[in-house]
Structure 1
Amino acid sequence: MADFDSRENRKKEVIGIVGAGISGLLACKYCLSKGFDPIVFESESGVGGVWSKTIGSTKLQTPKPLYQFSDYPWPDSVTELFPHQQTVLEYIESYACHFDLARHIQFNSKVLSLSYDEDDNDDSSGDLWGEPFSSSSNKGKWNVNVQHSTPTLSTQVYVVDFVIVCVGRFSQIPNIPQFLGNKGPEAFEGEVIHSMDYSKMDPKTAANFVKGKHVAVVGFQKSGIDIAMECSTVNGIERPCTVVVRTPHWNLPDFSPWGLHLGYLYMNRFSELMVHKPGEGLLLSLLATTLSPLRWAFSKFVESYIKRKNRLAQHGMVPEHSFLNDLSSCSLSVLPDGFYDRVEQRSIKLIKKVEIVGFCKEGILLKGQAEPIKSDLVILATGFRGIDKLKHIFESPKYQEFIAGLDDSAAVPLYRECIHPGIPQLAIIGFSESTTNLYTSEIRCRWLAELLDGKFKLPSVKMMEKDIAEWDKYKKRYSYNKYYRGSCIAALHVWHNDQLCKDMGWNPKRKKGFWAEWFEPYGPMDYTG
C-alpha cells in the first residue's frame, strides 16, 4: 500500500464502521489517528456494544489490568479487580468521550446490508488485496444501507471506500434449539425467553419478572450462571432455580490458582512454547513436543485448584476434558462469588450432564428421563448465531458463502483474524476471541490502521488462505471438540500478536529483561507507543 500525498488528500478516504462497541470505538480512534474519515453506524442510542445490555450482576471476566485501553488506563477510583457491568460501561463511555469519538458516530442507525459495487463483475479474487488503498486506485466502493430510527424512520445509502465490521459474536440473533415434532417451546404453557431478552431488562425489572416463579435456566456458560444467581437471590430456597448443564466446564473461582496468577501459567511467552503453533519451525515443534508433560502438569495444577475450591467432585461437576481444552476454546468464565454455596443451600439446583429433547405442557423434557422439569419460566442461555448475523449483513450470496466458511459453521476464515482474502476493502474486527477481547481488538485495529496507511502490504490470497488453514488446524488440535468455534486464540495470543507486530515493523519482544520477556504475563500496556 502506498502512502498518501497529504493529510488533506487522506480525508477523501471514508471508512464505514459497523458498531460502536469496543472494537468499533477502537477502529474509529485508530482510523482518525491516520487521517481517515470514519463514520460509525450504531443501532443503539449509546456506545458499549454488549456491555450496554448485559446482565446487571455480570462482572469482568479477566482482571482489569488485562482489560484496558493501552492509552487510557482505568481510573484510580475503580478499585475492584473484576468491575461490574455498569463500571465497565462507564469506562468505555469515558474512553469515547476522552477521544471525542461520539461526533463520528451515528446513533440509532442500523446497518441493513452491505453491497460492493463490483460483486457481479469481479470473478478473480487473486489480486483483490494487491493494490494500494486509496480513492484513486480502489476497484469499487461499498454501499452501506442504513436505517435511521430518529428523528423519524428513514433509510439512507452511504458510499464508503472501506468497511470495518465490528458487530461481535454475542448479540442480536439468539441460538434457539430446534426440536422434532410438536416438542418446541409452543408446547409449554409457561414462558420461554432467551438470555438476550433477560439481559435487556434493568435489574429491578428482571427481579420482578422472575419473582415467585419456578425458573429453569438452560446452559452453563457465563450468562446462564449469572441469571441463575440473580434468580436464586430473588426466590431463595422456596423456589430454587434449576440449571440444566449439558457439559461442565473448568469455571474459575478466581484468577490465582493456589496463589499463582493465571497469567504466569498461560499468558506469557514461555507458556506458548508448550503448544504447537501455526507456522512454527522444527525447533519450536520439538520444544512443544518435549514440553508436553509440563503442559499436562500446568493443566492439572489449575484443575486441582478448581476442583478443591469449587468442590466439583461433591457436586458431580468435574469436566471430562482438560483445563487447556477449555482455555483453547474460550469456554472459561469466572464464577460469581458463592455460586456453589447457593447450590448447597438449595436455592440453585443443578441437573447435570443431560440433554434437552423438547418441551411439554409442564416444562422441559430430558433425554432418558420420564419426568419433565416443571417450570413457570424457561430461560435459554444457549448462545448466539454469530456467523448468521455476520453472513446476512452482505447482499452478495458469494460473500455470504465466504463468511460461512468451507467445512463447518464454526469458523469465519480470516487472515490475522481480520481480513477475508476474497472480500475486498473490508475487515472484520472483534469476531474472534481471546482471554481478554479488548486487548485483542486494540492491537488488531492498530494493525489494520497501519495496513490502510500503507506501512505494509498483505501477502497473496493463496498465502493468506494457507495461513488461515494453519491457524484452523491449531485451533482444532487444542479446543474441546464440542465447543470448537474456530475463533479462539487464547492459548497463543502472544504468538498472534508477534505476527501483527512483525507485519507493522515493530519489535515483537516488548518487555525489558530475559525473565520479564519469557515469564511475565503479556498485557495491553506492553503495546503502548
Structure 2
Amino acid sequence: MATHDNPPIMVSKIGIIGAGVSGITVAKYLSNYNPIVFEATDSIGGVWRHCSYRCTKLQSQTWNYEFSDFPWPERESSDYPSHAEILEYLHLYAVHFNLFKYVKFNTKVVEIMFVGDKDGFDFGRLPGDHGNPLPGRPVWELSVQSNESDVIQRYHFEFVVVCTGKYGDIPLMPTYPRNKGPEVFNGKVLHTIDYCKLDKEATSDLVKGKKTVVVGYKKSAIDLAIECAQANQGPEGQPCTMIIRSLHWTLPHYRMWGVPFFMFYATRSAQFLHPTPNQGLLKSLLCLLLSPMRRGISKFIESYLLWKLPLEKYGLKPDHPFQEDFASCQIAITPENFFNEADKGKIVFKRASKWWFWNGGIEFDDNTKMDADVVLLATGYDGKKKLKTLLPEPFSSLLEYPSGIMALYR
C-alpha cells in the first residue's frame, strides 16, 4: 500500500507529465526553466514505444512529422517510417538537445492537486487571460510514485504540463450480455495494449495456425490483421476474421488521381473550406458558401478510393462521405498488401453490430456462430477516463463539452 512519508518538495518551477513526443518537445522549449519530466516507464516515446506492433508505421510522410529544428536523417527507403525508426528519431532529438537530464524514468504521477489561491479564479469557464503562468508560489502538487517503491513523493510546481495523451494505459473494452463475456470462451482474449507487450516470437506463436478474430476496423485492427495473415502463410495457415461494426474510409497513399492529398486539407486556404469549433459568423457564412466545393472534393477522393481499392467487392464502402471521417480523424492508411491478403483468403471481413462470446468462439445477433481460438480486441482506449482520472475537479470538467465530447485542443 502506498504511503506519504515525505513532505512536498519544490525542485523546479515546471513539471511535465509524460515523455512521449509532446513531453520531450515541451521539455526542450522550457529547458531554460530546468523542468522535471515524470515518465512512468523506462524510456521515452510514449505510444510509439508501448502501443505499437511489429508492422506499425507512421501514417504521415516524414516531412509532415518532424521537428522544425531537427529534420529527419537520411533514410534508405522513401516508405512511411516504422515505429522503430520513429523511436530512433525521437532518441536522436532528445540526445541532440540534451533532454534526458530532465526526465525521471519509472516515476508515475498518481494524483494532481490544485494548491493555489482559489479566490478570484472562475472555475466555471476557461479564462481568456491566464495571467502570469509562473506566479512565484506553488500552484500544483503532484503525487509521484516510483516503480521501485510504494512511497509517494509529493512535488510542488508553479506550472504543470500534462503530456500523457489520450491513448494507451486504459483500454476501451466492449460490453457483453450477462454470462456471454470472455469468461465463457475457451480460447485466448487480448486487448491490443496487451498484444503490444509481446515480442515477435510470442505474437507469432499466438496466432500461427490459430483461428484468429480481430475486432475493429481502424488502424490498430488493420495492422493486427496484417500480422496475423503474415504469420499464417502457406496451406496450414488459418484466415484472420475482422469483425467490423462501423466502416471508415481508408487510404492507400496520399495522392488522389495524381493530386497530393495535402492540397485538399493541409493548406492554409483549405482551412476556409472546413468548419472549426467556436468559429465566428463570417467563417460560418464562408463555410456555407463553400460547402458545394467541400462536397465536391469529398466525392473526388471517394471516386479514387472506390477505383483503387476493392471496397465494394468486400462490402467495405462506407455510407457516409469521406469528409466526415477526415473531420473526426478516422482515416487510416491501408498497408500495401492488405487487400492482397484478403484476395488470398487470409483476411476475411464480417459485418456485425452486436456480438458476444460462446465457449467455442463468437456469436452474432443473427444467431450465427464463428469458431475462434484467439480474439484480439482492437477497440481503442478510453482517453476520456484516462485524463479525467488524472486531473482534479473542477479542471477535468472543463475538458468536456455538455455533449460528452472531449476536444484535444481544450
- TM-score (normalizing by structure 1): 0.71
Task: Identify the residue that residue 343 of structure 1 maps to in structure 2.
Answer: 342
In the alignment, is the contact (CA less than 8 A) between 1:387 and 1:403 conserved in 2? no
Task: Please state whether the residue corresponding to 1:313 is helix, strand or coil.
Answer: coil
Deviation at 1:284, TM superposition (A): 4.0
Alignment deviations for residues 461-516 of structure 1 (CA, whole Å, 9 cap, x no partner) = xxxxxxxxxxxxxxxxxxxxxxxxxxxxxxxxxxxxxxxxxxxxxxxxxxxxxxxx
Query: Equivalent residue of 1:216, what SS?
Result: strand
Aligned to 1:70: 68
Structure 1 letter corresponding to 2:132: P
2:251, 2:334 within 8 Å by CA — same for their partners in 1?
Answer: yes
1:134 aligns with 2:129: no
Aligned partner of residue 189 in structure 2, secondary structure: strand
Distance 2:376 2:151 in 1: 34
- Residue 112 of structure 1 is matched in structure 2 by 110
The match for 2:44 is 47
How far apart are the structure 1 equivalents of 2:87 and 2:205?
24
Could you list the per-position Cα deviations for residues 254-276 of structure 1 after superposition, in whole angstroms to 9, with x for gaps in the alignment? 11111211011111122222233
Equivalent residue, structure 1, for 2:268: 269
Q: Does 1:306 find its partner at 2:301?
A: no
Q: Distance between the aligned counterparts of 1:61 and 1:254, measured in 2? A: 9
Moved more, 278-287 or 99-108: 278-287
Structure 2 segments unaligned to the other structure (5+ residues): 1-9
Q: Please tell me whether residue 245 in structure 1 is matched to residue 251 in structure 2.
A: no
Which amino acid letter does the alignment assign opposite residue 153 of structure 2?
Answer: Q
* Percent identity of equivalent pairs: 35
Secondary structure in structure 2 of the residue aligned to 1:225: helix
C-alpha contact 2:19 2:46 (8 A) present in aligned 1: yes
1:234 partnered with 2:231:
yes
Q: Which stretches in structure 1 are left out of the alignment for 5+ residues?
A: 1-10, 419-529
**Cα distance between partner residues in 2 of 1:147 and 1:12:** 16
The residue number in structure 2 matching 1:398 is 394
Aligned to 2:201: 204
Asked if the contact 2:117/2:139 (under 8 Å) is kept, the reply is no
8 Å contact kept, 2:166–2:382: yes
Tell me if structure 2 keeps the 8 A contact 1:169–1:385: yes
Aligned residues: 396
Q: Distance in 2 between matches of 1:16 and 1:173?
A: 23
1:289 deviates by 2.3
Q: Kindly indicate whether the alpha-carbon contact (under 8 Å) linking 1:356 and 1:364 is maintained by their aligned counterparts in 2.
A: no
Distance 2:347 2:126 in 1: 57
Q: Which amino acid aligns with 1:215?
A: T
Indicate yes or no: 2:406 matched with 1:411.
yes
Aligned partner of 1:510 in structure 2 is none
Q: 2:214 touches 2:221 (CA, 8 Å); kept in 1?
A: yes
Q: In the aligned structure 2, how far is the partner of 1:279 from the partner of 1:397? A: 24
Higher alpha-carbon deviation: 197-206 or 307-316: 197-206
Kindly indicate whether the alpha-carbon contact (under 8 Å) linking 1:185 and 1:359 is maintained by their aligned counterparts in 2.
Answer: yes
Corresponding position of 1:99: 97
Q: Which residue of 2 aligns with 1:187?
A: 184
> 2: distance between equivalents of 1:170 and 1:59?
16
Partners of 2:83 and 2:206 in 1: CA distance:
20
Cα offsets for 1:428-486 (capped at 9, x unmatched): xxxxxxxxxxxxxxxxxxxxxxxxxxxxxxxxxxxxxxxxxxxxxxxxxxxxxxxxxxx
Contact map agreement 1:391 1:404 (CA 8 A) in 2:
no
**Secondary structure of the corresponding residue to residue 178 of structure 2:** coil
Q: What secondary structure does 1:212 align onto?
A: coil
Cα distance change of structure 1 residues 183 and 123 upon mapping to structure 2, 3 Å threshold = farther
CA distance in 2, matches of 1:186, 1:296: 47
Equivalent residue, structure 2, for 1:143: 141
Deviation at 1:386, TM superposition (A): 0.7
| Structural RMSD (CA) | 2.2
Corresponding residue for residue 334 of structure 1 = 333
Cα distance, 1:121–1:291 mapped onto 2, change above 3 Å = closer
Q: In structure 2, do the counterparts of structure 1 residues 277 and 130 end up closer, same or farther at CA, with 3 Å as the change threshold? A: closer
Change in 2 beyond 3 A, CA 1:187/1:404 = farther
Q: CA deviation at 1:48?
A: 0.4
Query: How does the TM-score come out when normalised to structure 2?
Result: 0.90
Q: What is the CA–CA distance in structure 2 between the aligned matches of 1:317 and 1:245, rounded to whole Å?
A: 9
Structure with the largest fraction of helix:
1
Instruction: Quote the residue 1:486 is aligned against.
Output: none
CA 1:374–1:164 in structure 2 vs 1: closer, same or farther (change >3 Å)? same
**Aligned AA (2:81):** P
